[in-house]
Amino acid sequence: TKPEFITFQDWMERKEEEKRPSVVCPVCGTLNPKGAKFCRVCGSPLPQEEEKK
């Protein structure tokens, strides 16, 4: 496999993203913002949290 090269800005954005509440895609493993319905990389549906009343 090829090594992955990213810019410093992309690296910083990933680090900030890791701190935010997120949902992991069950298909590709990408971190997605909490509340997202679909993965931003592969488009798979994400598990939804049940609303607490």
Q: Any idea where the domains of the chain sit in the sequence? A: 19-47
Q: pLDDT confidence of 53, banded at 50, 70, 90?
A: low
pLDDT tens per residue, range 6-38 = 899 998 988 887 777 789 999 999 989 888 999
In this prediction the pTM is 0.56
User: What's the pLDDT band for 52 if we cut at 50, 70, 90?
Assistant: low
- The separation between CA 25 and the C-alpha centre of its own chain, rounded to angstroms, equals 7
6 against 3, higher pLDDT? 6
Characterize 19-30 residue by residue with b for buried, 16 or more Cβ atoms within 10 angstroms of its Cβ, and e for exposed. Answer: eeebbebeeeeb
pLDDT number for residue 44 = 97
Q: How many whole angstroms separate alpha carbon 1 and alpha carbon 7? A: 19
